[in-house]
Amino acid sequence: MSSVTESFGSMVFNESVMRQRLPKDVFKQVQLSINNGKRLDITAATVVANAMKDWAIEKGATHFTHWFQPMTGITAEKHDSFISPVGDGRVIMEFSGKELIQGEPDASSFPSGGLRATFEARGYTAWDPTSYAFIKDGVLCIPTAFCSYGAEALDKKTPLLRSMEAINRQGLRVIRLFGNTDVTSIRTTVGAEQEYFLLDQEMYNKRKDLIFTGRTLYGAKPPKGQELDDHYFGVINSRVQAFMKELNSELWKLGVMAKTEHKEVAPGQYELAPIFTTTNIAADHNQLTMELMQTIAKKHGMVCLLHEKPFDGVNGSGKHNNWSICTNTGINLLEPGDTPYENAQFLLFLCAVIKAVDDYQDMLRISVASAGNDHRLGANEAPPAVLSIFLGSELDNILTAIENDELYINKEKEQMKVGVHVLPKFPKDTTDRNRTSPFAFTGNKFEFRMLGSSASISGPNVVLNTAVAESLRLFADVLEVAEDFEVALHDLIRDTIKKHKRIIFNGNGYDDAWLEEAKRRGLLNLPTTPDCSPCYINEKNITLFARHKVYSENEIYARYEIKLENYVKVIHIEASTMLDILWKDVLPSVNAYTKVLADSLLSKKEISDSMSCSYETMILERFEGLTGSAIQISKELESDIKKINGFTNSLSLAMFCKNELLAKMNRLRTVVDQMELITDRRYWPMPDYGDLLFSLK
């Protein structure tokens, strides 16, 4: 065995470790719990906890933690040591079944969106046995869900697990109708491609905006940006190479199947793609990936930026959520099959996704909304804020033929009538790619491309799973009572295409003409977080999530509040940081520089009145104007910031932040960037875009 295959998963308490270390009956119980959600009883849990502890101690662990994903979007852990006193001044290492199954972190500082009053500040964490325990930095981490005492979900994992259950329930109903009796469960799978930037640590340390907000709030365009596309797939330098090597090795130990890595379009930008896995595990793994990227970059004297738009005018970072539906027998339900029969099943699942994306455009939009991603969606590198589906010409022609009851002409020029049992076979065309679509079919899966780079993938997948579960529920309701299954199936597929084809768009999503066309089609265009947030609490969406037991009405309201709260906080911090940098760094530097210019002007005049001082005069005059504007805007911004506390409605406040604060921040930036362009670089108080972007070359 190579060292990689040996170390892969070496820090994970996975199935093979459990098989080795657990008594047969307990192992079986754990498997049942993983596959069918059966709760583990306390006796079995005690045995598992003991085995886990012994294994972890052998691997050098001294502590354990319930590892959970509060609504901040990052992970949380509170370490407890295994040490337990035995009375005579000595200790033993202990870990009980109860400690494994349930924890009670003091959770009052995590956002709850009003779900938890402070008098009942404690939440509890509960083991998710479907995601394996692992060791990170000498700590045994137990993936857990995080709930309030009223069992309301305070985290991102619980709703995701519930949405997996919803699509399992409804998917099985549909699968049964096709006579599949061997399938006992259905799950969704995800491969999340992660984009990020790497910067030199020393450069980063000199940028307060990056430190406080993760993005540059000032910065004039460098003479060279990404125009030449010479970074994309380019040779990776040795420092970054060393980082990637360590990152891969650490991820592999944790069982994360990091597979490909390459340079992205922007200078300093990279991407990592893992091999896909079950959605809730993919979500855990993506969190770990983001965390390790940041800690390992530090070790190599670099900083990993996960912000969606760290640099204005340069491509931002996203996350491509490759998503599919899979049976426990290993069939990918979004893979066109070899037989017409399999193809009919494929088409029905495809229609379920088309319908879901059309019906729940608003929820999908919200699921990727954040202050950071607002800068990216609709810019040049990412899909617009309008949902649409790319199918590719082959599949699109087939759907059109079905819709119109027409003959379909395939690539071999054969004509065929498309009925349920005479569906054409069509090749998976991997060259037919559209990189501008927010939601693209890529042969056997969909690639949801609107996700921002820093956010957890849970939210978008909760929406996808639940919305598709709803389509499947409605389909099953019709088909289960159909007199003639085949006729009903055919009609259902045709009617779904007719009703939802407006969401299908195979053209260039970056083109402005598409936005016009989308409007004509009645598709939603919700450019920013405050614009889309109100849809969260639409009756239709509350009903959807309640029906499938994914979010209660309270849980939805909590998430709505947190989304807006978070948006406001981000803009508030950014505005304050801009002012801080302006007053403490930019203006003093400009002042120092203008003094030099003024001195030079005076000395020239002293030598002779006729000396040309056009350089000094011109620049001094420009600074005069720019400084005046900067001060004016900063006063307006300050007064806006003061108004924040006066709002009682979170939506109005978010709108205010967008319309007033953000607008003024943009104006201030324009002015300061103009100052940067005429300031002697020795006086500019921070590294410029050129320094930052090309710091690793």
Binding site for ligand ADP (CB under 6 A): 189-191, 193, 273-276, 322-324, 332, 442, 444-445
Quick one: three-class SS letters along 602-622? HHHHHHCCCCCCHHHHHHHHH
Q: Shortest distance, CB of residue 435 to ligand ADP, whole angstroms?
A: 10
Binding site partner of 189, from Mg ion, ligand ADP, none, Cβ cut-off 5-8 A by kind: ligand ADP
Tokens 């896909």 found at: 276
CA distance 487 to 480: 13
Neighbours of 55 (CB within 10 A): 18
655 contacts 527 by C-beta, under 8 angstroms: no
Q: Is 445 in the site for Mg ion (CB under 5 A)?
A: no
Judge residue 36's burial from the number of C-beta atoms within 10 Å of its C-beta, 0-12 exposed, 13-18 middle, 19 or more buried. exposed
Binding site partner of 81, from ligand ADP, Mg ion, none, Cβ cut-off 5-8 A by kind: none
Q: Shortest distance, CB of residue 323 to ligand ADP, whole angstroms?
A: 6
Q: Shortest distance, CB of residue 325 to ligand ADP, whole angstroms?
A: 8
CA distance 78 to 659: 39
Q: Shortest distance, CB of residue 256 to ligand ADP, whole angstroms?
A: 11
Q: Shortest distance, CB of residue 288 to Mg ion, whole angstroms?
A: 20
Q: Which amino acid is at 223?
A: P
Binding site partner of 101, from ligand ADP, Mg ion, none, Cβ cut-off 5-8 A by kind: none
H/E stretch holding 133: strand 133-136
| Residue whose Cβ sits closest to ligand ADP | 191
Q: Is the dihedral of CA 192, 197, 198, 202 positive or negative?
A: negative
Q: Closer CB to ligand ADP, residue 319 or residue 669? A: 319
Q: Shortest distance, CB of residue 259 to Mg ion, whole angstroms?
A: 12
Binding site partner of 147, from Mg ion, ligand ADP, none, Cβ cut-off 5-8 A by kind: none
Q: Is 157 in the site for Mg ion (CB under 5 A)?
A: no
Q: Shortest distance, CB of residue 274 to ligand ADP, whole angstroms?
A: 6
Q: Shortest distance, CB of residue 182 to Mg ion, whole angstroms?
A: 32
Q: Closer CB to Mg ion, residue 320 or residue 473? A: 320
Q: Closer CB to Mg ion, residue 10 or residue 444? A: 444
Binding site partner of 276, from Mg ion, ligand ADP, none, Cβ cut-off 5-8 A by kind: ligand ADP
DSSP for 15-26, written as a single string: HHHHHHHS-HHH
Q: Closer CB to ligand ADP, residue 190 or residue 457? A: 190
Q: Closer CB to ligand ADP, residue 63 or residue 445? A: 445
Q: Tokens representing 45?
A: 């849990």
* Total of residues contacting Mg ion (CB under 5 A): 1
Show Cβ contacts of residue 239 under 8 Å, excluding neighbours closer than 6 positions.
300, 301, 302, 696
Q: Shortest distance, CB of residue 230 to ligand ADP, whole angstroms?
A: 21
Binding site partner of 197, from ligand ADP, Mg ion, none, Cβ cut-off 5-8 A by kind: none
Binding site partner of 274, from ligand ADP, Mg ion, none, Cβ cut-off 5-8 A by kind: ligand ADP
Binding site partner of 445, from ligand ADP, Mg ion, none, Cβ cut-off 5-8 A by kind: ligand ADP
Q: Shortest distance, CB of residue 444 to ligand ADP, whole angstroms?
A: 6
Q: Closer CB to ligand ADP, residue 324 or residue 343? A: 324
Q: Is the dihedral of CA 18, 23, 24, 27 positive or negative?
A: negative
Angle, in degrees to the nearest 10, between helices 539-547 and 458-480: 80
Q: Closer CB to ligand ADP, residue 468 or residue 523? A: 468
Q: Closer CB to Mg ion, residue 446 or residue 567? A: 446
* Cα dihedral 657/662/664/667 (nearest 10): -170
Rounded to 5 degrees, φ, ψ at 83 are -65, 135
Beta bridge partners of 448: 321, 439
Q: Shortest distance, CB of residue 180 to ligand ADP, whole angstroms?
A: 18
Show Cβ contacts of residue 654 under 8 Å, excluding neighbours closer than 6 positions.
529, 530, 533, 564, 567, 568
Q: Closer CB to ligand ADP, residue 110 or residue 276? A: 276
Binding mask 309-328 for Mg ion (x = CB under 5 A): -----------x--------
DSSP for 393-432, written as a single string: HHHHHHHHHHHHT-EEE-TT--EEE--SSSPPP----TT-
Binding site partner of 273, from ligand ADP, Mg ion, none, Cβ cut-off 5-8 A by kind: ligand ADP
Q: Closer CB to ligand ADP, residue 21 or residue 433? A: 433
Binding site partner of 190, from Mg ion, ligand ADP, none, Cβ cut-off 5-8 A by kind: ligand ADP
> Terminal CA-to-CA distance of the chain, rounded, Å?
36
CA distance 642 to 630: 18
| Residue whose Cβ sits closest to Mg ion | 320
Binding site partner of 231, from Mg ion, ligand ADP, none, Cβ cut-off 5-8 A by kind: none
Binding site partner of 493, from ligand ADP, Mg ion, none, Cβ cut-off 5-8 A by kind: none
Q: Closer CB to ligand ADP, residue 246 or residue 335? A: 335
Residue 237 is classified by DSSP as: P
Q: Closer CB to Mg ion, residue 207 or residue 320? A: 320
Give the total residue count for the chain. Answer: 697
Nearest partner of 150 among 565, 546, 555, judged by Cα: 555
Q: Shortest distance, CB of residue 435 to Mg ion, whole angstroms?
A: 8
Angle, in degrees to the nearest 10, between helices 663-678 and 614-643: 160
The three-state secondary structure class of 103 is strand
Judged by the rule CB under 5 A, the positions of this chain that interact with Mg ion are 320
